[in-house]
Amino acid sequence: MTVVFISNYLSHHQLPFCTEMKRLTENRFYFIATEPIEQEKLTLGYADMNHDYDFVICTFDGETQEKRAKKLISESDVVIQGGSSTEWIRERLENTDMLTVRYIERLFKRGFLRMLSPRAIINNYRSHTKYRNKNFYLLCAGAYVAGDCKIIGAYKNKMYKWGYFTQVIKYEDKELQDIKKSQTVRLMWAGRFIDWKHSDYCIEAAEKLKADGYDFRLDMIGTGELFDSVKAKAQRLGLDGCICFHGSMPPEDVRKYMEKADIYLLTSDYNEGWGAVLNEAMNSGCAVVASHAAGAVPFLIKDGKNGMIFRSGNTDDMYRCVKYLIENPEIRAKMGEKAYERVSMLWSPETAAKRLIMLLSELLSGNKAPKLFESGPCSIAAPVPQRKMYSEIKEKTI
């Protein structure tokens, strides 16, 4: 089986899965990068990996590489199209019935009113609905993707759970608990300081924790347009001794802070299609307090078992979760252990690649709607309306 994965550029969030796919396909896996990595990502500490691995083909390196990429796309057994233009797979979809797979985050991150615009209607039809009767399947990188696609009438009975599969670091038994031992409870947030990631929620929580007399430290990592204003707000509230702003740093250094953190805060709204920091924080044994709106949360977190979920935008609900975990260190440690298990075993790059190969093999053999797994990567992604998601995940992990 030859598998081609098209995306904008290779990142550390995709690399572990890609290297595992290369191994499982016995070097018949190719990653096609359609553009150089963004300067913003480099500023945040990302590495430019496009030319570091022999399975990567960069279409922007010249006509020869572009022709090689197009030939692979037209001839390979399976093509997976991720963060890139549909034009790369249009000829394959239009003129053949070869197995093609879309890999996307949700369509309506910014609200459902946008889907009523003529441009959105046309784009969604040309990219998705038009091919509903083709040999065309969907990997849902987030819990809201299936619901969005149901609205536009695409991928019926062809949607499977998926996500991002970051590096899994293996730790010895109790190793993470030993690293986290501290009198002071350590909280952490990492990401871009932009409006929809809501870093300000952390400042509000810190203000309440200080007022209530808790001994804590909050590490905030990253940069962005709101960095100065958020830092200034923390200073005005007299939180200098409780919060440390670290700026940007390489991903491996971020993981070091996660290893020491007791509680990780994921505060993003519906604009967070997945949220790969959640994988990393869970792999680092953190007890996570997460907004239900981030796409990864309903797939990865079992509320009250391996993390706690608050209703997006409800900072009182978020603070209740944080306070509960601070006051219950044994429960906090147990949630961290369960978080580590879920990401290190079920939602790992190795499990994802192995399951994907099994799913693709079934599809290539003519099974049009295989149901191979009950949960986790490559299990059926059932459409859940956005308005019902919070109540669904409070009862069970979808």
Every domain of the chain and the residues it spans = 3-166+348-385, 175-345
Specify the amino acid at residue 67: K
Q: Which tokens in the block code for residue 120?
A: 């959105």
Q: What is the CATH number of domain 3-166+348-385?
A: 3.40.50
Domain spanning 175-345: CATH 3.30.70.520:
no
- pLDDT, tens digit, for every residue of 122-139? 999 999 999 999 999 999
The answer to whether residue 99 scores a pLDDT higher than 90 is: yes
The closest of 355, 361, 305 to 160, measured between CA atoms, is: 355
Determine what percent of the chain falls in helix, strand and coil, rounding each to the nearest 5.
45, 15, 40
pLDDT band at 39 (very low <50, low <70, confident <90, very high): confident
Helix or strand holding residue 388 (H, E): helix 386-395
Q: Tokens 């991002």 appear where?
A: 164
Question: Looking at 313-389, which runs of residues are DSSP E strands?
Answer: none
Residue 396 confidence (pLDDT)? 64
CB 242 within 8 A of CB 210: yes
CA distance 238 to 128: 51
pLDDT (mean) for 139-144? 98
Under 8 Å between Cβ of 297 and 272 = no
Say which DSSP state 168 is in.
P
- Whether 3-166+348-385 shares its CATH topology with 175-345 is answered yes
Crossing angle, helix 63-75 and helix 87-95, to 10 degrees? 40
Phi, psi for 175 (deg, rounded to 5): -60, -45
The two three-digit tokens of residue 269, written as one number: 């709204």
Q: Give the integer Cα–Cα distance in Å for 110 and 306.
A: 29
State residue 298's pLDDT score.
97
What is the rounded average pLDDT for all residues in the chain?
95
Backbone angles phi, psi at 107, to 5 degrees: -85, -35
What is d(CA 261, CA 20) in angstroms, rounded to the nearest whole number?
29
Q: Which of 395, 377, 190 is nearest to 272 (CA)?
A: 190
| More confident of the two residues 325 and 397 | 325
* Gap between the Cα atoms of 98 and 96, Å rounded: 6
- Structural contact between residues 276 and 166, judged by C-beta atoms closer than 8 angstroms: yes
270-303 confidence digits (pLDDT tens): 999 999 999 999 999 999 999 999 999 999 999 9
Rounded to two decimals, what is the model's pTM? Answer: 0.94
pLDDT digits (tens, 9 = 90+) for 309-339: 999 999 999 999 999 999 999 999 999 999 9
**CA dihedral over 317, 318, 322, 325, signed as positive or negative:** positive
